[in-house]
Amino acid sequence: MIKNYIKLAWRNIFTNKVLFLLNILGLTSGLFCFLLIYLWISSENSMNKYHANIDQLHSIYLTSPDGTALGYGTSSLLYKELKTKIPEIEKVTAMTNNSRNSTFSNGNTVLKQNGKFVSEDYFEMFSFQILEGNASKALSAPSHIAISKEMAELFFGNSKDAIGQTLTYENSKELEIAMVFELSSEDSTEKSDYYLPYEPLFAENEWMHEWKNLGTYTFVQLAEGTDVEQLEQKLKSFLKDYELDLEIRFQSYADSYLFADIEKGEGKIIYVRMFGIIAFLIMLIASINFMNLASAGYMKRAKEIGTRKVLGASKSSLIVQFLGEAMLLSLTSLFFALIFIAIALPVFNDITEKNIDLLNLPVTTWTMVFVITLLTGFLSGSYPAFLLSSFSSTDLFKKKIETSSSTKWIRKGLVVFQFTISVVFISSMIIISKQIDFVQDKNIGFDRGNLLAITLSKDLQNNFDAFKGGALQISGVQSVTKTSHIPLGDYGTSPEVIWNSKSADDQSLFTGMVASTDFVGTYGVELLMGRELIHNNPENIEYLINETAMNKMKMKNPIGQPLLFWGNPGTIVGVVKDFHFGSLKESIFPMIIRSEGYSEFNIAFVKYSKGNEKQILAALEALHINLNPAFPFEYRFIDQEYDKLYKSESIFYKLSTYFSILAILISCLGLFGLVLFTAEQKTKEIGVRKVLGASVFTITSLITRDFLKLILVGVAIGTPISSYFMTKWLEEYEYRINMPWWVFGLTAVLIIGISLLTVSFESIKAATANPLKSLRNE
């Protein structure tokens, strides 16, 4: 029997080649989009979840007493206190909040490597594949370093030869390699080349000894069975003993990637959910196409079904046959979809910055792929299967089913649904692109164009005046300054700010940076009051503050007012207009810029004229080599750093654009198939009308008008749906565009235009056909 079903299925395929081709194209496109998104979502959901102790690992973040989340920044001293005083915490580690791109040398090999400082428990809490050395002793001495397999190979050829060897760090300190590691999984956001012991930082950074300076990340491993909510209640007043009116909260480390926006309880999870919805809707459109085309084509199989019923075929056997045909078609589409995915994966990985490989997918993923494919076939074929098998043999032979109003309304509803989704996709895509354009074109308060950031080693920090003087002699260089941060980074926060009239209970948080002379001119920020920083005298510290800081301090005329920041007394000399040093999703934080002070991670900023970047870079590199030959020349363009802030949005926009186009094409394939069927059903009517003198336009209108009504209904329904969801999405940004209502008009024009082209092609063909061919059998 099964063999007979397969024969019938293939016979029907070759009998209805156009219908088969349309269904294969639709289902293949749908499965292609769905499976690509599924692979991406699976990768996103698995990020940072491979650690052996993942259920016990948590990130610490702080909140104000009213519950407002303040970010992951904590005091550098916190990890020691938690480890010794809280029994529910088994292990705890501290980590610097920014990666350090440091210089290492061994003989003639001098390389920049990216890494962090962590405390001792780090390698016992997080899962690494230890190739050489011991995790518990890797960072037990100040002169130890743990390096990656890749870093070991760069310097020593292989990991075994690296253990016990030394590397020179920043041309000033000899470090012994105590461990070589490899990440246990590629699904990790932590990809450092090296780790250094945390303790030595305390001797080099005075700010780390202050509880109120919140510039360190802290992670804990809780004892099994610990109730997190109870522990948070227990620690509610823990920080008050250290004069911090803040509360400790725990976030599961497994959620740290997708829910990084702890204040809103969101993050990348928004895009995972949105792509999940897109994948589901695209697969639904493809399935609807199959339902529509299969149910619309039942007339061609009416006699076959009627004959089989007369010969004793049961309803259940017919249902099994039609469902089998649908799943066979679905598996065939899967075969083609996988071929296209294999071709598209390199480009897809490049866009998403993933490393998905079909050959390395786990068995569970492949199982899910086949289950999804069979389920798609079952759902797609269920409606036509039950529909076709439900008619009586008499109706099938008389073709009375042609007039069934219920089946027509179902088909119409499915067409409306398809184009509703298409409207949502197109309008959303345009609105997202407008917001991205707004982000890229917005004046963020400083001139990020033609601004170069050059990493300064300690030697060059001490010889900065010579570097600045040499750089200013280069043709095209306009100004040079030095700061402790790039403009767009993690600054850390602190409530340790004292000004005149500050109330005793004011725990306002400020962020800060260190800058040298020519900061205002090089950054291109606008000076609202006072003057620029003019000297770097540690005995007479000068402060610049932004507008938000001025308002937070409730100062009307701050110029000349005393200010104590990080324990350093100084004077406010100027107020700069607010500039963005983070994402436009966030409001501008109160910032204080001090004129002098030790900063471990210094950056030189060079403002240059446009047009001769290559010559300027070459001259700066030559100057760097002359003054600092032991260190590689490293630079970054600030406008590129700015674009990185919106990487998720950019990826979402690119992929949603491609998937939206495919969704529209799938919808049009279905529409084309239905027009083809309608034209075939009306062949004799069209022939009669032509004989009676009807024009091509009249006949074409006869076929297209019903479809146009359905498309207009889809536009009418899709517009408010898209408006609602895009309004919610834009609310994620503190700085955003106003809803561009013209987008919905443009979307309607595009949808109607594309649909009319699809419908008109076959309609005109039917209208221009020779009527004698359709009437000769009458």
3-state secondary structure 642-656: HHHCCHHHHHHHHHH
Q: What is the pLDDT of residue 699?
A: 67
Structure tokens at 225: 């069975």
Q: Clarify whether residues 102 and 223 are in a common domain.
A: yes
Q: Clarify whether residues 356 and 208 are in a common domain.
A: no
- Residues 666-676 as b/e (b if ≥16 CB within 10 A, e otherwise) read bbbbbbbbbbb
User: How far apart (Å, rounded) are the C-alpha atoms in residues 470 and 657?
Assistant: 48
Is residue 177 domain-resident? Answer: yes
Q: How many helices (H) and strands (E) does the chain have?
A: 24, 23
- The β-bridge partners of 513 are 593
Quick check: helix, strand or coil at residue 442? coil
Is residue 465 domain-resident? Answer: yes
Q: Beta strand 194-197 with 109-118: parallel, antiparallel or unpaired?
A: parallel
- Residues 416-431 as b/e (b if ≥16 CB within 10 A, e otherwise) read bbbbbbbbbbbbbbbb
Q: What is the pLDDT of residue 88?
A: 93
Q: Clarify whether residues 64 and 195 are in a common domain.
A: yes
Q: What is the pLDDT of residue 403?
A: 46
Quick check: helix, strand or coil at residue 397? helix
Is residue 18 domain-resident? Answer: yes
Is residue 772 domain-resident? Answer: no
Is residue 614 domain-resident? Answer: yes
Q: What is the pLDDT of residue 150?
A: 92
Residues of the chain with pLDDT under 50: 400-401, 403, 778
Q: Clarify whether residues 619 and 471 are in a common domain.
A: yes
Q: What is the pLDDT of residue 179?
A: 93
Structure tokens at 261: 């926006």
Domain residues for the domain of 383 are 1-47+263-403
Residue where the block lists tokens 């509360």? 247
Domain end (from 255, 285, 314)? 255
User: How far apart (Å, rounded) are the C-alpha atoms in residues 481 and 703?
Assistant: 71
User: How far apart (Å, rounded) are the C-alpha atoms in residues 165 and 161?
Assistant: 8
Structure tokens at 150: 């890749």
Specify whether the CB–CB gap between 98 and 490 falls below 8 A: yes
Q: Beta strand 173-183 with 144-148: parallel, antiparallel or unpaired?
A: parallel
Structure tokens at 43: 């990768």
Question: Which helix (DSSP H) or strand (DSSP E) does residue 522 occupy?
Answer: helix 519-523
User: How far apart (Å, rounded) are the C-alpha atoms in residues 643 and 488?
Assistant: 10
Q: Clarify whether residues 287 and 244 are in a common domain.
A: no
Domain end (from 387, 403, 419)? 403
DSSP state of 457: -
Q: Clarify whether residues 251 and 271 are in a common domain.
A: no
Is residue 770 domain-resident? Answer: no
Q: Clarify whether residues 64 and 212 are in a common domain.
A: yes
Quick check: helix, strand or coil at residue 552? helix
Q: What is the pLDDT of residue 439?
A: 76
Is residue 4 domain-resident? Answer: yes
User: How far apart (Å, rounded) are the C-alpha atoms in residues 432 and 264?
Assistant: 20
User: How far apart (Å, rounded) are the C-alpha atoms in residues 720 and 405?
Assistant: 29
Q: Clarify whether residues 555 and 621 are in a common domain.
A: yes
Domain end (from 563, 597, 630)? 630
Q: What region, left, alpha or beta, does residue 114 occupy, with left being phi > 0 and alpha being psi -120 to 50 degrees?
A: beta
Quick check: helix, strand or coil at residue 571? strand
User: How far apart (Å, rounded) are the C-alpha atoms in residues 100 and 650?
Assistant: 26
Residue where the block lists tokens 């008008």? 705
Q: Clarify whether residues 244 and 270 are in a common domain.
A: no
Residue (of 483, 480, 450) closest to 467 by Cα position: 480
Q: Clarify whether residues 617 and 565 are in a common domain.
A: yes
Q: Clarify whether residues 399 and 515 are in a common domain.
A: no
User: How far apart (Å, rounded) are the C-alpha atoms in residues 192 and 169?
Assistant: 16
Q: What is the pLDDT of residue 13?
A: 58
Residue (of 144, 139, 183, 179) closest to 160 by Cα position: 179
Q: CA 675, 678, 680: angle at the middle one, nearest 5?
A: 110
Domain count, the chain: 3
Q: What is the pLDDT of residue 489?
A: 61
Q: Clarify whether residues 111 and 240 are in a common domain.
A: yes
Is residue 608 domain-resident? Answer: yes
